């Protein structure tokens, strides 16, 4: 069973995390995380995103990939590395001057909820056929991921109603800060160099601002910057989701590493390939 990973091919997580719209969800989650003053201060003070623009995005994607499609042993090994890094890091509150651990449970919970709620919101907006039952099951499954980073799974929202209540409760703590503006600028126009720099002009409107536009309206109000119109945002997200599979050959030609899902299907067999048609009833 360990070869099937934490969730296995019959889970909602297995199907959902292979969808191309997840990339938009990942970027959207970073915009959302940055509205928490302490969470964003920890990122700005400890991350090397200015000198390694793609590093944070890649590390996040790799962690989601291995915890979803890797073996149980691989998932736990990846989580142990993440916990080890977090355990050693500290940040300073820009307003109070207080030093705090970045593996504080409240911060870990916020990052987890911002991430998985963004995944759900974006894939549904982009046309993935998820019912409320699927969404509830997904959040329940994702408690296993929360446990990997050190959270008590019983204290993590495990349904859409519980997630909605958590986001409503934490909203008074969220606001725009100078650090949030740093992340906003970075996610819109990362400082890429070399050949990758030529892609920034395409990335900014199709990924950077589209992911921002997929945030809830209250988050746009915090940032004080206009999103794309709602109908345009939905249409662009659905178009990107439908065209992304045709770009896989280009991505491979650029030397991108093999996605974890490809390795999982090779390990288990073609029957395990993720598909919306395999969502549990």
Q: Would you state the structure tokens that stand for residue 104, as one six-digit string?
A: 């504080």
Looking at residue 268, its pLDDT comes to 95
Looking at residue 201, its pLDDT comes to 80
Domains held by the chain: number:
1
- Tokens 């996610």 correspond to 187
Helix (H, G, I), strand (E, B) or coil at 66: helix
CB neighbours of residue 268 within 10 Å: 16
Regions of the chain short of the pLDDT cut 50: 250-256
Looking at residue 39, its pLDDT comes to 97
How would you class 49 by CB atoms within 10 Å of its CB: exposed for 0-12, middle for 13-18, buried for 19 or more? Answer: buried
CA atoms of 173 and 111, how far apart (whole Å): 14
pTM for the whole thing? 0.93
Looking at residue 254, its pLDDT comes to 40
**Would you say 113 and 157 are in contact if contact means Cβ atoms under 8 Å apart?**
yes
**Would you say 103 and 87 are in contact if contact means Cβ atoms under 8 Å apart?**
yes
**Residue 168: which domain range?**
2-278
**Would you say 158 and 139 are in contact if contact means Cβ atoms under 8 Å apart?**
yes
Looking at residue 92, its pLDDT comes to 97
């Amino acid at each position: 069973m360990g070869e099937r990973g934490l969730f296995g091919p019959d889970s909602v997580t297995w199907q959902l995390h292979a969808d191309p719209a997840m990339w938009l969800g990942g970027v959207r989650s970073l915009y959302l995380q940055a509205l928490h003053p302490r969470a964003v201060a920890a990122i700005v003070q400890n991350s090397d995103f200015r000198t390694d623009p793609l590093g944070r995005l890649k590390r996040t994607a790799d962690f989601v990939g291995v915890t979803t499609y890797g073996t149980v042993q691989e998932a736990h090994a990846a989580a142990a590395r993440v916990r080890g890094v977090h355990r050693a890091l500290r940040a300073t509150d820009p307003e109070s001057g207080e030093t705090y651990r970045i593996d504080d449970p409240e911060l870990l919970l916020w990052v987890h909820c911002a991430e998985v709620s963004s995944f759900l919101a974006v894939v549904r907006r982009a046309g993935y056929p998820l019912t409320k039952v699927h969404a509830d099951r997904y959040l329940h499954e994702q408690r296993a991921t929360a446990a990997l980073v050190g959270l008590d799974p019983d204290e993590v929202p495990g349904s859409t109603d519980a997630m909605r209540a958590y986001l409503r409760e934490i909203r008074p703590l969220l606001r725009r800060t100078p650090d949030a503006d740093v992340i906003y600028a970075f996610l819109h126009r990362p400082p890429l160099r070399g050949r990758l720099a030529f892609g920034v002009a395409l990335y900014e409107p199709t990924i950077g601002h589209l992911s921002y536009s997929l945030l809830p309206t209250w988050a746009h109000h915090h940032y004080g910057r206009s999103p794309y119109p709602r109908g345009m945002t939905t249409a662009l997200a659905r178009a990107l989701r439908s065209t992304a599979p045709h770009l896989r050959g280009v991505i491979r030609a650029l030397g991108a590493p093999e996605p974890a899902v490809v390795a999982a299907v090779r390990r288990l067999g073609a029957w395990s390939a993720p598909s919306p048609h395999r969502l549990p009833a």
